[in-house]
Structures are given as structure tokens and as C-alpha cells.
Structure 1
Amino acid sequence: MDFIHRIAPELQEGAAGLPPLQLPEGLAAARSSVPMPAESLDGVRITERVVSVSGAQPVPVRIYEPANRNDHALPALLWTHGGGYILGNPGGDDALCGRFVQAANCVIVSPDYRLAPEHPFPAAIEDSYTALAWLAEDGNELKIDRSRIAVGGASAGGGLAAALALMARDKGGPALCFQLPLYPMLDDRNLTPSSHEITHPALWNRANNLTAWEMVLGAAAGGAEVSPYAAPARAGDLAGLPPAYICIGQLDLFRDETMEYVTRLAQAGVAVEFHLYPGGYHGFEHVVPEAEVSRRAMQEYIHALAKALNS
């Protein structure tokens, strides 16, 4: 069957309308087309600042919180944006972060982490961990309930969220109550059937994924010595991680590595909820947000976060 006809009917037109992306030649153009931040969101206050912790490089962050919050400490989410570790910025997720704030009555900190290839591994995870450590610090004026801190992200941001959960466990903190890695970029080896299956030029495909990992890891990509903080699928032990909600489309390049990671989390005793959406491709809920499956997917992961942070 032709690939387009395997896509859910309500998502097909969106896929057909996506411009092809060819890396590395198209990187500059793709970066210039990243959505601009929203000027305002109803009921949500957005601020920016540069943060740091002892010994770490300062990191710009974008902060979302209820516009009319009271003095009560709120739960928090460290949200890492997607873009294959080579594209994107926090402002591109303004609408989604606004919905998280409204549904979960929480504070969100989103780091503007350094991108490859100019800044290869470990730049992105170091910046993200600095932002997480700052979020969990006393005296940051955010009025956070430090017993209710989660990490989340989509695509490469999902990979970073999974890596942050590993790093926080291994370093003995900050304590996390939940992780939300959505269709995460987890494995630089690109050996699974789905990593070979998805080659459509308008989607995040095998060629671009291989190139992105090479930009992040250089000659080490696919080799034996890659850190699990770069590619969480490399982690030998997943025990002791926070509960997780993970979802992915059936026609996503990351399908199989995600399903393997979910299985390993469950085998390690980690509570994990998983959703696989038939006919869905990478990031489908943002490409065709009006589709029923897109609304359902987004509602389900927003609800999962709100429940985790307020239970």
C-alpha cells in the first residue's frame, strides 16, 4: 500500500502539505521557519530570564505560569522543545505550554538549550539539567511545590525528558514525580524496522534522523560508547525512574524504539501508560490539530500531566 494511504484519512492532507526537509542543506531554512512565540496567552503569564546553578553555564529559559496565581506553591514541569536537537526554540511550544498551565495549574520552565551541530552532545542535556536544577532550587522565586516536579517534551524534547529522568535518578535529584516523553527520540543506532520504514520526504524520516544524530554525536553516532544521557535507549537499567506517560503514532520513525523503551520501563517496575495511534505520523497532532485523533491525543497527554501533578 502507498505510504500516504496508510495514514489516517483525516491526517493525509496535512502530511501532503508539509514541505520536504533535507538535511543538512535545508537546516538554515528550517530554522528560519520555526514558529514565532505568541505575544500573549489567555490566563497565562510568560516571562524570560537567564538562569544558572553553581558551576554551570547560564541558560535562557521561558517561564509560563497562571496570570492570576495566588501565594500557594504550584507543581512544575520542565518542558524541553523538539526539533531533532538541531531546530526549535521554547516559544514554538507556547500554545501547548499554555494549555498545560491552564489544565494543570502549574508553572513551566522551558530551556532554550544549545543546538547541534554548533553545540554537540552534551550541550543540550547539560543546559536542560541546569534549568531543572534551578527550577528545583530554593530561592528562585517561582513558588514551586518541590514534591511535584515533572519533566516532559516531544520528539527530541521527549528524548531529553527521558535523559533528564535518568540523570536526575543517577545524580540523586532533583526528585521527579512524573515524566512525559512524547514520541521521543531515544536511539542513535537506527536499527529498528520503523527506522527503516519511514522515508517519506515530508516527514521526519530515516535520512534526516541519521544526519541529526551525526550532528549531535559526530563520529560516535551508532557506535558502542554513546551515553544514555544522549540516547536513553542505551541505558542498561531503567529501575527507579518516575512514572511515565508515552504516546506515538503508528507511522512514526520512532515507533519501535519507543515501544521497546516502554516495555523495558514496565519490566523494570516503572508505572507507564502508553498510547499508540493508528495512522499517525510524527507530530501529527500539531500538523492537523483539528482532526479528531489529534484532539484526542493532545487531550489525553494533557490530562495525564494534570492528573500526575495534582493527585
Structure 2
Amino acid sequence: MPLDEASTAIVARIDETMARIGTEITDPAEARLLTATPPEALANPTPVGSVEDRTIPGPHGYEVPVRVYRPLDESADPPPVMLFCHGGGWVLGDLDGHDGICRQLSNRVGCVVVSVDYRLAPEHGFPAPLEDMYAALVWTAAHGDDLRVDPTRLIVAGDSSGGNLAAAAALLARDRNGPPIAFQLLVYPVVDHDFGRDSYVENGSGYPLSADLIRWFWDNYADESVRLNPYATPMRAPDLANLPPAHIVSAQYDVLRDEDEAYARRLRDAGVTVSLRCYPGAFHGFFGFGARLPVARKAFDDAVRQVRAVLDTRVTSARR
């Protein structure tokens, strides 16, 4: 299915900026300035119950900034909690860039969202961003009373490199006997570094995440000596059993499409309940364009439905 007119316009506008990063622009600080969220994009935000910026204890004394969103309707008492990790190739991005998605997730799922402003590469390469995410996971699970949430209904979520960190945090929690996680919401996550897959060949240029750009992201995040570490590359984990159920969103015109499908297969083979939705006519980054793209609204609706189904099941089981 080809890109529709609205998607084509969005892709062209994004590509004007992103095509320069990793090729013409290789300094991360300059790339961050170029991709910073403009103030007008934060005007007229989706109303939520409340928003609070705070810091929580991180690794080695580092204080991790987080932004806590409460939904407009807190009919659940206490509500579930979602730990969200933004995308940006581990190098770009911040809390503001995913403010809109977090507000919508909080309202639509009916959960408190804790958005994590993890340290960025290359200044802080692997495993620093993951350890920040994991510290936020442990803190969130231990502070249910403080957050006024139900930590037994804890979700990890993220898009792109944030999806990588969410998936890796689930692996860490399993292997470290960490907090139980109810669900993984992985939106076109980076789970491998095999640049020879068909989706890299088909979608390697002309889209928001090019083959050159993802290579640049990897080069900044983790050198080749550590990329086989499963906490850097979840696809390379020898065993994916006993992980939380997952919903994976992928896009037809995305270099990551094939690895996301392969990761879903590996999860299923390991006995993990997983749903995968690959959206025709969609591109990497489409999930946040619900105001303009029907396919994004569909993907968001599907994701919310999958999350709520698992959370509702856990509530029903707890009441028996």
C-alpha cells in the first residue's frame, strides 16, 4: 500500500531534517539543536489530570528526570502505571518531544505515565540509558503509595530506541529478579542490528529513519564489541522465555519492520503472548500523528485495546 498524500507530506518534511543527520551533520549536539521540539508544538496540549516534573534516584548517584502524567479520569483506584521511554536513537529526544503521546496514553489507558528522561549517547552510551530506565522501573514499582498507583499493573513502553530500552528493561527485570511487569508496549522498537534485512534494502532511504541514520545511532550508542549483549540488542538474547506479554507496532515503510516481525516470532516461540500489527502505508514515527493520519489513530486504538485487555484481566483475576 503506498503512502497516502498526508503521509507523503509528513515524510518529506521530516526527511528534510533527518536526512542530514548522520551524514552531513555528525555532531550529536548540533543534531539535538536541529531536532529540538519547537515551543509552538507544546501549545494547547491535550488536557490531563496533572503533570509533574521531578527527579528520582538513578545509578551511581545520578538523579533521573521524569515527568509524571495523571489521567483526567482516575476511575481506577489506584490506577495502573506505565513507564515510558522516548525514541531518538539513544542520541536525540527528550520529554517534550513525546509529551503528546504520553498525555494520550495516560487518558486513553487510564494510567499514570512516568516518562523517563534517560541520559543520551554518545556522552552516555550503553548501558547508561538502560540503567536509567531500569532504575526508574525499580523506583516506580517500590513507590506505588507515593505515586498513588497499582504497581502490580506496571507496563513498560517506548518507541524506536525507547522500545529497545523497554524490551531490554523487561529482560533485565527477569534476569535480576526485578519488579514484575504486566505488559510491554513496543512501538517499532530497535531490537537488532542486522542491516542486511529486506526492510533495510526496501526502506533504507527516503523515510524518516534511513539505513545511514540507524547506523549512526548504533555507532553512538554501542560499539560492535558490545552489540551482541542482549541488553543492547534484545534479539540476540539466547532465551526470551518468561517475559511479559507484548504488543508490537510496526510499519510497512520502516527499516525496522523485519526485525520487529522476527522478534515477535521469537517471543511466540518462547511461549510469550505477543500481538504484532504491521500497518500498511505507515512509516517509522507515524504513531504520534493521530491528528492527521487515520492509520496512526488505528494503531493507537489497537495499542490501547491490547494494553487495557491485559490490565482488565489482571483486575478480574485479583478479585476472584
Q: Same fold (TM over 0.5)?
A: yes
Cα 1:56–1:180 change in 2 (3 A) is farther
Give 1:23's match in structure 2, choosing from 21, 31, 39: 21
CA–CA separation in structure 2 for the residues paired with 1:303 and 1:258: 20
In the alignment, the residues of structure 1 paired with residue 97 and residue 307 of structure 2 have an alpha-carbon distance, to the nearest angstrom, of 20
**Where does 1:1-311 land on structure 2 (aligned, <5 Å)?**
6-18=2-14, 19-21=16-18, 22-24=20-22, 25=25, 27-32=28-33, 33-35=35-37, 36=39, 38=42, 41-52=46-57, 57-66=62-71, 69=74, 72-138=77-143, 141-220=146-225, 226-287=228-289, 289-311=291-313
Bigger relative contact order (CA 8 A; separation at least 6): 1
Q: Which residue of 1 aligns with 2:316?
A: none
CA apart distance, 1:95: 1.4
Distance 2:251 2:265 in 1: 16
Would the aligned equivalents of 2:106 and 2:113 in 1 still touch at CA under 8 Å?
Answer: yes
CA distance in structure 2 between the aligned counterparts of 1:249 and 1:69, rounded to whole angstroms? 32
RMSD of equivalent CA atoms: 2.3
Deviation digits for residues 204-230 of structure 1, max 9, x if unmatched? 1111111110101134365xxx21111
Contact 2:59–2:132, Cα closer than 8 Å, also in 1: no
CA distance, structure 2, for counterparts of residue 159 and residue 54 of structure 1: 19
Number of corresponding residues: 304
Distance change in 2, residues 1:139/1:274 (3 Å):
closer
The 8 Å contact of residues 62 and 91 in structure 1, kept in 2 or not, is answered as no
TM-score (norm 1): 0.90
- Look up the SS of the partner of 2:308 in the other structure: helix
Q: Deviations over 1:16-37 (max 9, x none)?
A: 2222423331544442232258
The runs of 5 or more residues in structure 1 that have no matched partner are: none
Aligned partners of 1:148, 1:14: CA distance in 2, in Å? Answer: 36
Q: How far apart, CA to CA, are the structure 1 residues paired with 2:61 and 2:193?
A: 26
CA contact (8 A) 1:71 1:143 kept: no
Higher helix share: 2
Amino acid at match of 1:295: R
**Contact residue 262 and residue 274 of structure 1 kept, 8 A:** yes
Bigger shift: 132-141 or 27-36?
27-36
In structure 1, how many angstroms separate the alpha carbons of the residues matched to 2:183 and 2:144? Answer: 23
Provide closer, same or farther for how the CA distance between residues 186 and 56 of structure 1 changes in structure 2, counting only shifts above 3 A: farther
Q: Which structure 1 residue ranges, 4+ long, deviate > 4 Å from structure 2?
A: 53-56, 67-71
Give the secondary structure class of the aligned counterpart of 2:136: helix
What displacement does 1:70 show?
7.7
- Which stretch shifts more, 252-261 or 135-144? 135-144
CA distance in 2, matches of 1:38, 1:14: 18
Is the CA contact (8 Å cut-off) linking 1:8 and 1:278 kept in structure 2? Answer: no
Pair 67,292 (structure 1): closer, same or farther in 2 beyond 3 Å: closer
Whole-Å separation in 2 of the counterparts to 1:140 and 1:59: 20
For 1:71 and 1:287, locate their aligned partners in 2 and report how far apart those are by CA, in whole Å.
Answer: 28
| TM-score (norm: length of structure 2) | 0.87
Report the more deviating stretch, 183-192 or 259-268: 183-192
Q: CA separation of 1:129/1:221 partners in 2, compared to 1, >3 Å: closer, same or farther?
A: closer
Distance 1:290 1:138, change over 3 A: closer
Q: What's the offset of the Cα at 1:93?
A: 1.4
For 2:157 and 2:163, the matched residues in 1 are separated by 6
Comparing 264-273 with 137-146, greater Cα deviation is found at 137-146
Secondary structure at the counterpart of residue 145 of structure 1: coil
Q: 1:288 offset after TM fit, Å?
A: 6.7
For residues 280 and 71 of structure 1, the distance between their equivalents in structure 2, rounded to whole angstroms, comes to 33
Identity %: 36
- 2-side partners of 1:139 and 1:305: how far apart? 19
Q: Residues 246-286 of structure 1: CA distance to partner in whole angstroms, max 9, x if unpaired? A: 11111111011100000011111111111111121101233
- Counterpart CA distance in 2 for 1:262 and 1:123 is 26
**Cα drift, residue 68 of structure 1:** 6.9
